[in-house]
Amino acid sequence: MKKLLGFVLKSFCWLIYHLPLKLRFFMGDILGILWFDIFRIRRQVVIDNISRVFPEMTEKNKVVLGRWSLRNMGRNLIEYCYLPFMSKSLVERFFRFEGEHYVQEALSQGKGVCFLTLHLGSGDLACSALSVKGYPVHLISKIFKVKWLNDLWFGMREKVGTKFIAPRNSSYHILKALKKNEIVIFVMDQFTGPPIGVRTKFFGYETGTGFGLALMAQRSGAPVIPIYTIRQLDGTHVIRIQPPIPFEDSDDRDESLAQMTQVYNDYLEKFVLECPEQWMWVHKRWKIFREN
């Protein structure tokens, strides 16, 4: 049964992969419109989040931006069908890297590299593209409780070389990967409360953000490199890589971790503003941060 399901899934992915670009976009757009306009799943969360970041935007434009965000999420889902066919030629065809030399220079230090990123553009596909290019990538990601969904979501990406680290008790595995001079990806645009989160601000509003990246950078000395992905109108993707963020240490360890986590949030704000229609507004980013 498992082999049959795998065959059916790969056949479906093959069909989607060979469809014209406009039709793939159309299918993704339909998924997004169904989510946002028909089923209206977390529609108000999307509008409320947009209102925080763009308070002067008209209600009409907030709806337009929210709809575009979900349309892009739909396109992400359709592009997931590329994964069984990921190859160097596909990466060369669909991806353009800006600032890749920053990664190579950081790896030459031999301390590993921490990537700072967010849910912008087709991040899952970009992660696989990095693996196909030969970079030793580890992605910190929650594991689904449903086994078949877990196998589906992670299985195809593992086949192209991406490794996954579960967030719970992850320090050992992160430091081990960095010690081997490999890359660990931290996706930091979701709310994280105590004890692994710290009180921060995001677009001027108080929230909680995980301090794991700051802690791992402090312990290992690994450079922290901001990286994000933007989908282009022609269906290609630009992976933008920026210079490493200097770690500002102090005698107060907790204060250093909080300050650096805020610095990382400030970077993410800029990426969201660069392409707000491709950010995942559907997440409840601004929950109440309650101390233990």
Report the candidate in 68, 70, 48, 73 with the shortest Cα–Cα distance to residue 59: 48
Provide the pLDDT for residue 82: 94
Residue 101 within any structural domain of the chain: yes
pTM, to two decimals: 0.96
Which tokens go with 45?
Answer: 């969360």
Q: Alpha-carbon distance 51 to 58, whole Å?
A: 9
Provide the pLDDT for residue 1: 66
Residue 284 within any structural domain of the chain: no
- Give the total number of structural domains in the chain: 1
Give the number of other Cβ atoms within 10 Å of residue 67's Cβ. Answer: 19
Residue 92 within any structural domain of the chain: yes
Between CA 173 and CA 122, with CA 260 as vertex, the angle to 5 degrees is: 65
In the chain, the amino acid numbered 251 is D
Residue 65 within any structural domain of the chain: no
Residue 215 within any structural domain of the chain: yes
Residue 178 within any structural domain of the chain: yes
Positions in the chain whose pLDDT score sits under 70: 1-2, 292
Q: What domain range includes position 259?
A: 88-278
Q: Alpha-carbon distance 180 to 112, whole Å?
A: 7
Provide the pLDDT for residue 291: 80
Residue 48 within any structural domain of the chain: no
Provide the pLDDT for residue 154: 87
Q: How far is CA 269 from the centre of its chain?
A: 14
Question: What is the chain's length?
Answer: 292
- Tokens 């689904």 correspond to 144
Q: Is 245 helix (H, G, I), strand (E, B) or coil?
A: strand
pLDDT one-digit tens code per residue, 59-81: 999 999 999 999 999 999 999 99
Provide the pLDDT for residue 223: 99
Residue 192 within any structural domain of the chain: yes
Which tokens go with 168?
Answer: 């719970």
Give the number of other Cβ atoms within 10 Å of residue 236's Cβ. Answer: 13
Provide the pLDDT for residue 2: 67
> Is there a contact between 177 and 219 (Cβ–Cβ < 8 Å)?
no
> Is there a contact between 165 and 138 (Cβ–Cβ < 8 Å)?
yes
